[in-house]
Amino acid sequence: MIRIDAPRLWSTLAMMAQIGGTPAGGVTRLALSEEDRIARNLLRDWALEAGFACDVDSMGNMFIRRAGKNRDLPPVMTGSHMDSQPLGGNYDGIYGVLAGLEVLRTLNDHQVETERDIVLVNWTNEEGARFAPAMLASGVWSGQFSEEYALARADNAGVTVGEALDAIGYRGTQPARAFPVHACYELHIEQGPILEDEAIDIGLVRAAMGQRWFTLTLDGFAAHAGTTPMHSRRDALTAFAELALMVEEIGYQHKPDGRATIGMAQVTPNSRNVVPSRVVCSVEFRHPQSEVLEAMEVALREAAEGLATRGVTANVERIFDYAPIAFDEACLARSEKAVEALGYSAKPMVSGAGHDTCYISKIAPASMIFIPCEKGISHNEAEKILPEWSEKGANVLLHSVLSAALEK
């Protein structure tokens, strides 16, 4: 059973980490930045040196193709993204891209001929750190966003995606439009602590959580902090404190997969000696089942209505609804078989984060493979993986992709 060249993969990860590297050992490589251009050029050069074609579409997505025997068959796809968060880590996204490159190189090393082409893709602007929303170019490719909308997204300096693509020379001529795909795999660090805590090699991702985002406005009444008795107050902030604990409880009620978060809050008038009159806050729920998300929303609305006993009114506005994703059973079965043959440990998992493959799964069979990351730290310069984790994940990817690419 063939294996990837683990030292070669680790070396490419180290070389790529130098592009946009930070003093603390992380990386800042924002989408369509100069650092992104240099990283893309290096990936393209590695691909061309290995004899692979490299095409770029009009959203800057890079498609590196290893030819199979039958070009008429839909290819097998793998890949991820190269852009990072500001002061991010060295493995989020880029590990999946470089492990995919290692898969193609390994097949060359062993002179393996596949029935189908294998396409490695680098998706543009997965993180959404420079241009919102996240997963922008994979969203265009899969039909979730129009290209006009995506190209017009602007960063904080007013630079649009279209302008940035032109600036780094990566606006391709190939239309950013999906082609038939036989199977798609994305290898990624877990970005959570479960695999490391349980000493498990591989996460087989069966689903990605749905998300519902809300904006809540709590209205009380501003009053003097010294002259207003406690029983006379309509304090929006103390009502918010009660709500925050209820939101946390909603998450606990739907464990282990439920997630409930208040990520930001704004207090008005935000003065030391004034009873707060208003709090505007975010609430976010995540779960892999739509019916549970619905139950969480119902519980939130009931909790908000209950604040009336404090003399505070609450308005709940749902602003985003992202349906859960169920990944393809056949794709998962290939990875399960690979794990068993390689002698690794594995467990089924649900992704709590969004990934490009969530969009690809809407138009093609797809699934994801996770490896551990130390302490679950990600989107942080302290993000780390071990070489053996890197090797095992890439081996599972190799045999998942190869199994699909050998199918007629």
Tell me the per-residue pLDDT of 290-305, one tens digit each, with 9 for 90 and over: 999 999 999 999 999 9
pLDDT in tens, 243-255: 999 999 999 999 9
Tokens 């294996």 — which residue?
3
Contact 252, 258 (CB under 8 A): yes
At residue 347 the predicted structure's pLDDT band, cuts being 50, 70 and 90, is very high
Q: Is the pLDDT of residue 319 over 90?
A: no
pLDDT, position 167: 98
| Pairing of the two strands 202-208 and 118-123 | unpaired
At residue 354 the predicted structure's pLDDT band, cuts being 50, 70 and 90, is confident
Q: Dig out the tokens for 178 from the structure.
A: 């999906």
Q: What is the DSSP letter of 377?
A: -
CA distance linking residue 23 with residue 301, whole number of Å: 46
User: Rounded mean pLDDT of the chain?
Assistant: 97
Its sign, for the CA torsion 231, 235, 238, 243, is positive
At residue 144 the predicted structure's pLDDT band, cuts being 50, 70 and 90, is very high
Instruction: Return the closest-CA partner of residue 117 out of 61, 60, 179, 170.
Output: 179
Contact 2, 110 (CB under 8 A): yes
Q: Name 21's bridge partners.
A: 27
Q: Is 254 annotated as a binding residue?
A: no
Q: Can you list the positions of beta strands (E) in 201-262?
A: 202-208, 210-219, 223-224, 259-261
pLDDT, position 333: 98
- Other beta carbons within 10 angstroms of residue 115's beta carbon come to 15
Tokens 């070396």 — which residue?
11
Percent of the chain with pLDDT over 90: 97
Instruction: Return the closest-CA partner of residue 209 out of 327, 73, 370, 319.
Output: 327
Percent of the chain with pLDDT over 70: 100
Q: Name 375's bridge partners.
A: none
Q: Is the pLDDT of residue 204 over 90?
A: yes
Q: What are phi and psi of 252, to 5 degrees?
A: -65, -35
CA distance linking residue 312 with residue 317, whole number of Å: 16
pLDDT, position 348: 97
Helical (H) or strand (E) element with 55: strand 53-56
Q: Is 399 annotated as a binding residue?
A: no
pLDDT in tens, 370-384: 999 999 999 999 999
| Pairing of the two strands 223-224 and 366-371 | unpaired
- DSSP codes, 317-373: EEEEEE--EE--HHHHHHHHHHHHHHT--EEEEEE-S--HHHHHTTTS-EEEEEE--
CA distance linking residue 96 with residue 370, whole number of Å: 10
Instruction: Return the closest-CA partner of residue 328 out of 293, 362, 287, 290.
Output: 362
Q: Name 278's bridge partners.
A: 219, 268
- CATH topology classification for 210-322: Alpha-Beta Plaits (3.30.70)
- CATH topology classification for 6-208+324-405: Aminopeptidase (3.40.630)
**Total residue length of the chain:** 408
Q: Is 379 annotated as a binding residue?
A: yes
Please tell me the pTM assigned to this model.
0.88
pLDDT in tens, 161-186: 999 999 999 999 999 999 999 999 99
Contact 252, 229 (CB under 8 A): no
At residue 2 the predicted structure's pLDDT band, cuts being 50, 70 and 90, is very high
End-to-end, the C-alpha distance of the chain in Å comes to: 21
Helical (H) or strand (E) element with 65: strand 62-66
Q: Is 117 annotated as a binding residue?
A: no
pLDDT, position 127: 96
At residue 343 the predicted structure's pLDDT band, cuts being 50, 70 and 90, is very high
Cα separation values, 144 from 151, 162, 185, 356, 361, Å = 14, 18, 19, 11, 12
What does the domain layout of the chain look like in residue ranges? Answer: 6-208+324-405, 210-322
Average pLDDT of the residues in 123-143: 95
Contact 397, 118 (CB under 8 A): no
Instruction: Return the closest-CA partner of residue 91 out of 394, 391, 390, 401.
Output: 390
pLDDT in tens, 100-124: 999 999 999 999 999 999 999 999 9
Give 319: exposed, middle or buried? Use CB within 10 Å, 0-12, 13-18, 19+: exposed
